[in-house]
Amino acid sequence: MGNSWACFTPKGKKDEKLEFDDALIHQQALAAALLFHQHQQNGSLPLNLDRSTSVVYPSTAAPKKLPKSSSSRQRSRTDHSLIQPLQLVNKDLNIDGLETIHFVLVHGGGFGAWCWYKIITLLEESGYRVDAVDLAGSGIHTFDTNSIMSLAQYVKPLTDILEKLGDGEKVILVGHDFGGACISYVMELFPSKISKAIFIAAAMLSSGQSSLDMFSQQTGSNDLMHQAQIFLYTNGKDQPPTAIDLDKESVKEFLFNQSPAKDVALSLVSMRPIPFAPVIEKLSLSDVNYGSVRRFYIGTHEDCAIPVALQENMINTNPPEQVFWLKGSDHAPFFSRPQSLHKILVEISQISPKQA
């Protein structure tokens, strides 16, 4: 069931330059995340950030080539370099005449727009338009996570994007992890503005179900999840939790068991707590709205956060139009298998609209 991808190019001087570009992107992303983390600790983070949905951090100094990761985790040669097989992907790619070339990327719980930096680069190099959104209290969005009381409040940065679309304009929504529940909520509100919805190792829920309901199906046997979760009680221990934080050491194996060490380092200084109220909110999804949007699922074979059995259960309970599988991917395929993920996203974008 599903597909896996592999692309190889000859090694040589061109590959050296591509690895150099990959290292530069890593260097810039990590530097930006470290700067943001320092501002958080010092209490000097500006409250009037001029925030776009995707952020570029230009480098003014001459870049230095970074050393290769010393992580002992196995990697696929396919995804070692960010740009390496892009010429093969783009060789016969024609985006003219597509229903839309606009991707909107929605991160999972604890993540931010920053986690998509490889996918943004790959899609834009392929000619697509990309927005990666920071949901409320995530990434560089300055709202206090503990104060988020509803899913509507959490996804407001996403609904703002869709509300601003022009007449007849559509996007491809991509949701990862808890972002699956977020795009489902938005699919119910704006079905006519969404060409396709893609769930990546994500909560693909049924009406009346919450993300907590879904995760509870497998927490009994998932010791890593128990070890990783830290519940926050800003209103007192006699009140429900306000957010869920993640233990930095535990998430290395829980979320990133196949990811490069430098991406794990970026994540550990960038991840923020997950608001609790949206996680327990049950979705109300109708066949007329949510059900009218074409859904696709991308599964992750080496996922410790949402194991294959749980992903298959969601697929069987709420079948999408098509299912793809990323072999060798952990819960963060945008880090562990960016090339393969990019190729599947491009393939889905090329699928012709259904005839009325």
- According to the model, what pLDDT value does residue 354 have? 76
- According to the model, what pLDDT value does residue 10 have? 36
- According to the model, what pLDDT value does residue 228 have? 83
Q: Catalytic one among 22, 177, 263, 330?
A: 177
* Max Cα-Cα span within the chain: 62
Strand partners, 173: 104, 197
- Using CA atoms, how far apart are residues 106 and 343, in angstroms rounded to an integer? 18
- According to the model, what pLDDT value does residue 68 have? 36
How confident is the model over 207-260, as pLDDT tens digits? 999 999 887 776 555 566 777 889 999 999 999 999 999 998 888 988 999 999
Q: Catalytic one among 79, 134, 263, 303?
A: 303
- According to the model, what pLDDT value does residue 33 have? 54
Using CA atoms, how far residue 76 sits from 79, 154, 336, in Å, is 6, 35, 8
- Using CA atoms, how far apart are residues 211 and 237, in angstroms rounded to an integer? 22
All residue ranges of the chain with pLDDT < 50 are 1-21, 35-85
> How far is C-alpha 142 from the geometric centre of its chain's CA atoms?
19
Q: What is the DSSP letter of 238?
A: T
Burial 67-98 (b: 16+ CB within 10 A, else e): eebebebeebebbbbbbbbbeebeeeeeeeeb
Is 141 catalytic? The answer is no
Is 303 catalytic? The answer is yes
- According to the model, what pLDDT value does residue 74 have? 46
Is 167 catalytic? The answer is no
Q: Catalytic one among 102, 141, 331, 342?
A: 331
Alpha helices in 270-336 (DSSP H): 276-280, 308-317, 333-336
